Amino acid sequence: MENLQVFLKESWHEITKEVTWPAWSDLQSSATLVLIASIIFALVVGGIDFLIDNGLKILYASF
């Protein structure tokens, strides 16, 4: 139990005193970048899915 208390105290000290947290504006720009990249990726995957789906429908309709 003592090891857990030591671990928690050291972890709290590390998080509050030793870690350099990014500025709010940096977090916002990173979040915007991730959002835009996710939307682009979703559109690309959706487009590929659309093409494959329609291609297979055309292929199956020809038989």
Q: Is residue 45 one of the residues assigned to a domain?
A: yes
Percent of the chain with pLDDT over 70: 100
Question: What letters, b where the CB count within 10 A reaches 16 and e where it falls short, cover 9-43?
Answer: eeeeeeeeeeeeeeeeeeeeeeeeeeeeeeeeeee
pTM of the model: 0.66
Residue 49: domain span: 27-63
Tell whether the model's pLDDT for residue 12 goes beyond 90: yes
Q: Is residue 56 one of the residues assigned to a domain?
A: yes
Tell whether the model's pLDDT for residue 63 goes beyond 90: no
Count of structural domains, the chain: 1
